[in-house]
Amino acid sequence: SSVAVIASATEGFAQANLGQSVDGSLATFAEVVTQAKQANLHVRGYVSCAFDCPYDGAVDPGQVNGVVERLLEMGCDEIAISDTIGSAVPATVDAVLSACASSLPLSATALHLHDTRGAALSCVGAGLAAGVRTFDASAGGFGGCPFAPGAGGNLATEDLVDFLANEGFDPGVDLAKLAQATDVVATALDRQPPSKVWQRLRGTSC
């Protein structure tokens, strides 16, 4: 079992998403993490708006590392560096990972990407080159945040699995069965998934 706490690298998003300052939210999360660790739960900490913020603009990588360090200090086992609005490119992924490298082990690093500008897979490539091996994705590419105006959906799991296979990795996921699972979600939402690989498998397009 596991729990997650979702911090923000910026004050603007912290106030919009959490109704607290960065410091206030981290103090709240420290109490949650303490209780979770007492219950022997795995804790994942997210750092939202690690690249750009819809309210505060570009984010300094050192600012991200500051939040990462505080999440690790309170006992988080893993940190998901999160591109909440989908603005990251390989160069900014490299910059943030480099800024966090001295405090955040690669074994505890994840990338959480959105595909607003179609650059999520190139960011996965940058993460792989840096040694990251954990990436978030969602069935079909559905998802998003009401406090991240203009942001696209999450990186589609189908697209990620297909990309990793083409890069020579074995993600251990049956793509056909994954697409079937996405069918269920798409039917429930009455929406066509953004995933390019799902569309290819189903012979459809946007």
Round to whole Å and give the CA distance between 32 and 154.
26
Would you state the torsion angle of the CA atoms of residues 143, 99, 122, 179, taken in this order, to the nearest 10 degrees? -40
- The conformational region for residue 12 under phi > 0 = left, psi -120 to 50 = alpha, else beta, is alpha
DSSP 140-203: GG----TTSTT---BPBHHHHHHHHHHTT------HHHHHHHHHHHHHHHTS----HHHHHHHT
Choosing from 49, 53, 123, 145, which is the catalytic residue? 145
Annotation marks residue 145 as catalytic: yes
Query: What are the residue numbers of the active site?
Result: 145
